[in-house]
Amino acid sequence: MIKNDYYAINLDGEIVILDLNSNCFHFLDEEQTIAMDNYINGSSTFDSKLDDYTFLFDKSLKSSNIVKYNNIEGIDNYSWSDVSHFINKDIQDIHIKDKFYIVIIYCILFTGKDYFFKQKINLLKFLKKNTKNVNNNLDYVNSAANFIHKVSSKLPFNLKCLENSLILAYFLTFKKYNFNLKIGVQKYDFLSHAWIEVDNIVVSDMPDLSKKLAIILAI
């Protein structure tokens, strides 16, 4: 019932929705959350409390299962943000041709901008679904992540975690690596964060992100 471009979770009794169309989040209060739960589960008709969110629904779709998270530990907005703390500086360098591929991916995607977020995500899903994974070398993935962070540090603007993760995700898809891109959230202080995992191990970031944040999207 919730359209495909929207991803919803119930976080401590209130629904949070990731909007792929605009790369933003929508927040429902407790009463709106109860009304939405009742509506999508078929136990009540549409409630006027949801009038501002009619754009979310498509009656032709099946009922939506909203995953519930309670007592998420969360992370400190200030102490974790410098990913250099999680980078292994002794790790091997990547091949020169792979550095070239990463730069080309950045240029093609215009990942430094917020344009076409939905299209970037949907294309990644399509490519990942249709790619036979043959690699899972975590050390090399960390090396690629190191290179992306190194390049981004020399840009006149900072790449966000989502932009770094998308560059790495497309590179790993091209190289036929087995990985997952995840976007997680917490409510207070609100934070959204994107990262890459290989075999459920976080790449160049806080190691227990999947336990500390509520996963709203995983590819």
Give phi and psi for 195, each to the nearest 5. Answer: -155, 170
Does 192 lie in the same domain as 88? yes
The kind and range of the H/E element at 32 are helix 30-40
- Residue 30 pLDDT greater than 80, yes or no: yes
β pairing state of 6-11 and 67-69 = parallel
User: Is 35 contained in some domain?
Assistant: yes
Domain span at residue 62 reads 6-69
Domain boundary among 69, 102, 118: 69
| Residue showing tokens 């999680």 | 86
Does 88 lie in the same domain as 53? no
With cut-offs at 50, 70 and 90, classify the pLDDT of residue 23: confident
Does 178 lie in the same domain as 105? yes
Lowest mean pLDDT among 6-10, 38-42, 99-103: 38-42
Distance, C-alpha 201 to centroid of its chain:
15
Mean pLDDT, to the nearest integer, of 177-195? Answer: 91
| pLDDT tens string 51-66 | 999 989 887 777 778 9
- Residue 83 pLDDT greater than 80, yes or no: no
Q: In angstroms, how far apart are the furthest CA atoms of the chain?
A: 59
User: Is 167 contained in some domain?
Assistant: yes
User: Is 34 contained in some domain?
Assistant: yes
Residue (of 157, 155, 165) closest to 198 by Cα position: 165
Does 93 lie in the same domain as 157? yes
Which positions ≥6 away from 24 have C-beta within 8 Å?
Answer: none
| pLDDT tens string 85-133 | 566 666 678 999 999 999 999 888 765 566 788 999 999 999 998 888 8
Does 122 lie in the same domain as 51? no
Q: How many structural domains compose the chain?
A: 2
With cut-offs at 50, 70 and 90, classify the pLDDT of residue 22: confident
CA distance 8 to 38: 15
Phi-psi category of residue 115: left, alpha or beta, with phi > 0 → left and psi -120 to 50 → alpha: beta
Domain boundary among 69, 99, 116: 69
Lowest mean pLDDT among 1-5, 121-125, 150-154, 181-185: 150-154
CA distance 150 to 189: 28
β pairing state of 180-186 and 214-218 = antiparallel
Does 42 lie in the same domain as 106? no
How confident is the model at residue 98, as a pLDDT? 95
β pairing state of 14-19 and 180-186 = unpaired
Size of the chain in residues: 219
| pLDDT tens string 131-180 | 888 888 888 999 999 898 888 777 766 678 888 899 999 999 999 999 99
Does 148 lie in the same domain as 64? no
CA distance 210 to 219: 13
How confident is the model at residue 175, as a pLDDT? 93
User: Is 74 contained in some domain?
Assistant: no
Does 203 lie in the same domain as 158? yes
